[in-house]
């Protein structure tokens, strides 16, 4: 078992061996609490003027207190005023912008700006969390583990002691706590958070700015996208988290970022703090092959089919477009990501590099009997588990895309069935009204023809591509009663079910019965679908135990073998710090991409025939008159330009969206929002020569707020550094 001092040393270092970059490259997503030990000397040499205490402190306000996790880590945000005002990406606030939009008040198209605090819009269910502290609990957990435990016994013991540690951390306070594993269960930290539940929309540019380039430019450079939105945190009068109330007041944070309008230049120091969702940098060559063949390929195929149903309907009607804007955007984002990742993994020969790493590690393991006894079977366990469970992995990926991510009505039925039965059996009128409200929320953004079309194409594809072993029970009914025709089956489903029509759903709630519920086709389909999911999951369980053990031993071996160099843990939605510099990059032979874009390029991309590249007349006028205010960049002949985006080599991934990009003085210079197409394999293998973090320049953000939207009162809240 890895000793604590060794794990700590290896946690604060950069992954380095034959298959990865050498220590000293700007790879790594670091835990901020270890900042004093993780290359502070190098960061200072690169331009950091702050101390480790400035980055992470429990007792005093530090940068960690100005960085927030949105919805427990789906995105990141940064505070920019003493009154709880924060910035994040437009795409991170897209769901809220869409939810408040109607044909009459189309905030997606026109943007939204609260000119008074009374106009700020509440968003039930949205949360922001602050990291209070992090504590290493590896010793406490290791005390209850033994080498003789099976993986199931080990997991049970970890869960039991983790629950105790979490309860202790939450005793006599209103915080949340979670124990997180690192290095696949070789180390453990407990994270304590304070979560606020009253989060109000303050401002968002129109999609022609916040989503400029849309799907065409997604994951691409050069970019000209003003990807930002603004919210405010509210709390109870006592300063503590509270549900939405008109009596709530703006939250006063321990720390907020000063905002720099000095601009950035090539080689400037840049630091990003945020909540990266997940990387798999320690994935083996066997896992990479499986990701390419199964997860990505299946996602590309099925999401392409779903988007083919949604897009024509959205283009035909503004009301439908608003209903499905956020859903389509989420689907398209990882559809394109999967295409890019497969290309990157192939072009950069990631499988070959991983195989070299594994060969080197195997040689080291076999050099000593003690190491061979401990780690010798790790790669065999991983390879055999992946090979033997491959058929199940294919099936489960199809299930998630076709059922869980397929027809919304089926998922809606499944999510509400238990609550409905309980409320009916108890004659609980209050519970039924809550379910009615959930129905209102669901049907607000529901269009039956789209849902029906997706159901049919998903079921056809699932049946065609998988063996009958993985068919849900209702497939037999489709064959026997509908001659195998999913369209005819769907015709009856969508003409009878209470879960596909708001009027039928509400009529049922007026006089609900268990009999009607039990005979509903959508619910029956949902129950069959969940049954086949557990069947597939059960078949793969036997291999999972060996797979988890193999991964744990494999990563432990990497840590021990590389103890003289540095390693960092994979991202797992916990706060991380990355550092790097502003810079250009060369994606291919004879091509050099400059490190910034300007409003000139934005205008050059204008295409009146393509909604993705629409440019508003007001923005054209500001550009023509060079009316950039204090946010422009001086150039030759006394003129100025408006910079829009810039690139750094910071190590980021999904979840980092909305993260603050910070200069050496701790000032906000940009907002991270994307990565580049040439390095889409980065979640699995960092490529230092190619990997880029794409950021919207904070000056462009301020320019849009001030000069375009006329919301200068929001600028007045901020501390502007010139």
| Residues identified as active-site | 91, 227, 657
Q: What's the CA gap between 570 and 5, in Å, rounded?
A: 19
Strands 720-721 and 259-260: parallel
Using alpha carbons, select from 673, 647, 714, 580 the residue that is nearest to residue 209: 673
DSSP characters over 652-717: --TT-TTPEEE-TTS-EEEEEEEE-GGGGGGGTS--TTT--EEEEEHHHHHHIIIIIT--HHHHHH
Q: How far is CA 499 from CA 150, 441, 516, 517, in A?
A: 44, 13, 12, 10
Find out whether the peptide bond into 222 is cis, omega within 30 degrees of 0: yes
Annotate 677-695 with three-state secondary structure.
HHHHHHHCCCCCCCCCEEE
Helix axes 521-561, 151-169, angle to 10 degrees: 90
Q: What's the CA gap between 363 and 372, in Å, rounded?
A: 10
Q: What's the CA gap between 588 and 580, in Å, rounded?
A: 22
Q: Specify which residues 591 forms β-bridges with.
A: 588
Residue 173 Ramachandran class (φ > 0 left, ψ -120 to 50 alpha, else beta): beta
Q: What's the CA gap between 600 and 714, in Å, rounded?
A: 26
> What's the DSSP call for residue 291?
I
- Helix residue ranges per DSSP H, 445-565: 448-465, 474-482, 486-496, 502-510, 514-518, 521-561
Q: How far is CA 133 from CA 178, 252, 276, in A?
A: 11, 19, 18
């Amino acid at each position: 078992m890895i000793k604590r001092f060794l794990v700590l040393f290896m946690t604060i270092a950069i992954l380095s061996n034959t298959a990865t970059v050498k220590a000293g490259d700007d790879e790594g997503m670091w835990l901020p609490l270890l900042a004093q030990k993780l290359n502070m000397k190098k960061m200072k040499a690169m331009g950091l003027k702050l101390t480790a205490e400035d980055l992470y402190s429990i007792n005093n306000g530090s940068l960690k207190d100005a960085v927030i996790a949105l919805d427990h880590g789906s995105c990141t945000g940064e505070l920019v005023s003493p009154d709880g005002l924060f910035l994040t990406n437009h795409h991170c606030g897209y769901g809220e912008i869409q939810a408040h939009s109607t044909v009459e008040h189309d905030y997606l198209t026109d943007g939204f700006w609260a000119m008074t605090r009374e106009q700020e819009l509440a968003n039930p269910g949205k949360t922001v969390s602050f990291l209070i502290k992090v504590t290493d609990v590896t010793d406490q957990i290791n005390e209850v583990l033994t080498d003789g435990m099976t993986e199931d016994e080990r997991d049970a013991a970890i869960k039991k002691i983790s629950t105790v540690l979490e309860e202790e951390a939450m005793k006599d306070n209103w915080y949340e706590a979670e124990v997180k594993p690192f290095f696949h269960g070789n180390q453990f930290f407990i994270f304590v958070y304070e979560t606020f539940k009253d989060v109000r929309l303050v401002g968002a540019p129109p999609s022609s700015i916040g989503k400029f380039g849309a799907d065409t430019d997604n994951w691409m450079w050069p970019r000209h996208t003003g990807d930002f939105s603004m919210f405010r945190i509210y709390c109870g009068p006592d300063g503590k988290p509270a549900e939405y109330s008109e009596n709530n007041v703006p939250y006063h944070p321990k720390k907020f970022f000063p905002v720099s309008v000095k601009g950035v230049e090539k080689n400037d120091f840049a630091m990003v703090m945020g909540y990266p969702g997940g990387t798999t940098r320690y994935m083996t060559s066997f896992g990479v092959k499986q990701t390419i063949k199964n997860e990505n390929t299946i996602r590309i195929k099925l999401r392409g089919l779903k988007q083919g149903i949604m897009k024509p309907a959205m283009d035909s009607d503004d009301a439908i477009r608003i209903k499905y804007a956020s859903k389509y955007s989420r689907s398209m984002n990882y559809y394109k990501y999967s295409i890019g990742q497969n290309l990157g993994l192939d072009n950069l020969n990631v499988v070959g590099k991983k195989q070299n790493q594994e060969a080197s590690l195997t040689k080291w393991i076999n050099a000593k009997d003690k190491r061979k006894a401990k780690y010798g079977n790790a790669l065999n366990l991983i390879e055999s588990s992946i090979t033997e469970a491959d058929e199940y992995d294919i099936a489960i990926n199809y299930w998630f895309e076709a059922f869980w991510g397929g027809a919304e009505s089926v998922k809606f039925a499944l999510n509400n069935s238990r609550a409905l039965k309980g409320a009916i059996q108890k004659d609980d009128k209050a519970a039924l009204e809550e379910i009615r409200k959930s129905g209102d929320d669901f049907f607000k953004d529901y269009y039956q023809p789209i849902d029906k079309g997706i159901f049919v194409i998903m079921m056809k594809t699932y049946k065609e591509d998988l063996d009958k072993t993985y068919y849900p029970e209702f497939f037999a009914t489709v064959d026997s009663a509908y001659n195998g025709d999913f369209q005819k089956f769907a015709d009856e489903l969508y003409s009878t079910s209470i879960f596909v029509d708001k009027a039928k759903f509400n009529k049922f709630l007026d006089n609900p019965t268990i009999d009607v519920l039990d005979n509903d086709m959508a619910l029956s389909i949902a129950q069959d679908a969940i049954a086949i999911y557990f069947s597939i999951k059960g078949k793969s369980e036997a291999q999972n135990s060996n797979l988890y053990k193999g991964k744990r031993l494999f990563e432990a071996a990497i840590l021990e073998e590389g103890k003289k160099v540095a390693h960092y843990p994979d991202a797992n939605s916990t706060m991380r710090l990355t550092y790097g510099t502003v810079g250009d990059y060369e994606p291919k032979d004879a091509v050099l991409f400059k490190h910034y874009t300007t409003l000139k390029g934005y205008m050059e991309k204008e295409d009146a025939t393509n909604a993705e590249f629409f440019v508003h007349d007001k923005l054209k006028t500001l550009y023509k008159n060079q009316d950039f205010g204090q946010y422009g960049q001086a150039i030759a002949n006394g003129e100025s330009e408006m910079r829009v985006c810039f690139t750094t080599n910071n190590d980021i991934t999904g979840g980092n969206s909305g993260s603050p990009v910070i200069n050496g003085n701790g000032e906000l210079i940009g907002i991270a929002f994307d990565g580049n197409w040439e390095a889409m394999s980065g979640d699995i293998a960092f490529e230092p020569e190619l990997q880029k973090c794409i950021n919207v320049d904070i000056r462009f953000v301020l320019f849009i707020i001030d000069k375009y939207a006329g919301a200068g009162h929001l600028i007045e809240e901020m501390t502007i550094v010139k």
